[in-house]
Structure 1
Amino acid sequence: MGRDKAQQDIHQPIKNSNQTTEGEKKGCYSTITIFIGIALITFGFGIYCITLAPDAWYATIIIFIIGIMLLFFAYILYLGLKHGEESEKRFELNEKGIFVHHIHHKAGTEEKVSIPFESIKSVIIGNNANYISMPVGKGIIFYRFGAIMVIKHENGIFIQQFFEQQEFHDWILRLEDKGCPLFKTEYDLGPAIASGPDYKVDFSKLVGLPWQGAPDYPPIGEEKLRNPFSPWEIGVKKREGVEENKRMKTRKWEKRVNWLLLGYALIVGGVIMPTFPLDKDGILAIDDPFIFGVLPFYILIPFFLVLWRSYAKWYLPFLYFVIMTAGNSFGALLVSIFADIPAIYLSAIAINLFVLVMGLIPSFLFIKVIKFLGTLRNKSRSY
């Protein structure tokens, strides 16, 4: 009787969809509403604080930054929901074959992929080693294994990933029942799948040995400290013009950051720095809120927008020093036309030199070291 039930099960269709459930949507919208509500309360509190204590501008800046961050998180959640609603993907594996229906709601188009079993030429099963890093406690680094199925059919290639043994087993039973030729490869196909738009992957060059139904292969769900499978690189080639595109994007963001830093430096030099008195050496007597609340943005803006890019030039930190000093000085010069303020020009050089030596240069070197270590780690993953 158990055998009869198993035979019945393999004739039941397998259906999947990428659509978010109504409960999940309600939960996301509730979270977005909470974030926006807290952000509005935060902005109101900041305005209240600056009204009561105009000198405590640094506290207001911190409060407004918190509010902006909450709005940013709400916006990211909203974009995720909208992105999921823009397209709908339905999948079904039934008695006739594999069928995919992809609906693009925003563009008003749809795509249908039909792969009848009789059109399948070969099914090659490979490994998928997922690198897991958990920086909790002492830090745990390991690999969690899945499987990748490359289905070659008359009209192209179809890829299916598996992270659960039962789902993989269900597919194998149905493919075997329909007489599809099954093969296996010891390669790790994960890097080829995750190579991204910069690379062209030709799975037609992937070959394998006859599938013999080994119960322990692929090792779906297993976790190991090292990856014993070599990455498949035969059909993976870099697209032409990729490096030039990266250079162009880097140059574009360099210009944007130059203008952002200049605008920020103008505000700092014309509005914030003149509020501080000069000490006996003729340098602004800045306080901790200025050091930890204002100066970090000189570092964070280039750090997240430019310095991490592959083609970021080595002299950028020094260029930013010139831009920041010029912005501070010009901002103070404009304000000095209308008001009597301290001469901050020498202070601007000293403060921005501090940012250069203690912030921009170490940040740039930190990114380069991390990238170098990442390259070494990727090379070691294949051993």
Structure 2
Amino acid sequence: MVWLPLVLVGLLSALWDHGPLAGIGVLLSVAWWQRSLQLVAAVLVFALAAVYGMPPFPTVVAVAAAVVLAAHDLHARRPGVWFPLLATGLGLFTTSLGMVWLRSVPWPARSPEEDSRTITQITTISWWPDDGSYVDVGVLVAAFAVASGLGIWALQARSPVVAVTAAGYLVAAWLLLPEPQPAMGWTDREQYADPFTQPHPELVLLIGAAVAFTTMRAPDEKRPVWLPLIVVGLSGPFWEYGSLVGVAVLVVVAGYLRSLRLAAATAVYAVAALVEPQPFPAVVAVAAALLLAAHDLHARRPGVWFPLLATGLGVLTAKLADYWVVGPPPVTYGSRSTTGYYATLQSDEMTSAVAIAFDPSADLHFTRAVAVAVAVGLAVWAWRAKNFLVVATAAGYLAAAWHLAPEYPEVVVLAGAAVAFTRDSRARTR
């Protein structure tokens, strides 16, 4: 499984400052040992993100590349239009995040005094109309090019799913354009924002990939209960009331399918939609969909990987609520506002800057308490199941939370789940 080194390096490199740089050497050694051109290409992309990207961009790139490689292996057994849609959508989404997290100078490691959520500059293509306002059209230009290619491919493949996905992507890119803003002249303009809170019309491509994947199921295969969560979760950030409408849709679908699992996931998503702002409800929906899909796979491939995945993903998702909620107030400039840690505005008449400090030590004790509770539970389970891998995962999780003090040590549990899945799969093939 060529995707495993990417998952391990991507997740574990987030535990310390120089992890991404050390991960480049590890991945190159594994790629040479496996003689895998796919892994070599993924390592080159990861190296670019590790050298020029700010955390957590190297982790995002590594996990995205691992998903594409794993999907490529699955596409060999289950071919269809879903894989090109998934690869295109995931590539565009990662690129849009890179527009914020990539720098023009090498960024070898995060400075200890800087938070990993420090915001950097967004590079945009702008158009100045005659009324003195401008509109960023870079996303629209890219969407038109991608949608045109998908349209031509849909005609050749005679796929209505691809055609509808291409049209939806183009419409979403047009509707999600930022509102015209007062022009500041032909001077340098720097806009700072959280990349996850920005509109991402490329999520439509991921929705299309999920729909296309489920249409390829066998006649005797059950309906995937995770699909409504993917559709509702990824489309929810497109408009203000998307999450609330999504809750109603999920309630209806859960009643129609008579699925207790989907009903439970709907309840969790409803709490996230009512309490937290976007994109946290979308993260909850995608995490719930992943767990439901993993539960279906666990029925065919049982092992300790699923409890580890559920534990790590559950704790990590719960802690991500503070990523967008506990933070500084929005920084306002002009007629728009952005939530960030550093914002600046330059024009012919004024230059202003606002800097807000962030102290991550406030959550340190809570992180360690959660790690102790989870590690004790995993240790008891490992003792009863007599599984050394679970013991090693629990010890690594506790050590990462206590000694390394990263922001999200739960990635160790997810790495253990990936290793357990690979080990169980190899044992079954033998």
TM-score tier, shorter chain, comes to under 0.3
Q: Which one has a larger percent strand, Structure 1 or Structure 2? A: 1
Q: Which one has a larger percent helix, Structure 1 or Structure 2? A: 2
- Return the TM-score normalized by structure 1: 0.25
Structure number with the bigger relative contact order (C-alpha 8 A, sep ≥ 6) is: 2
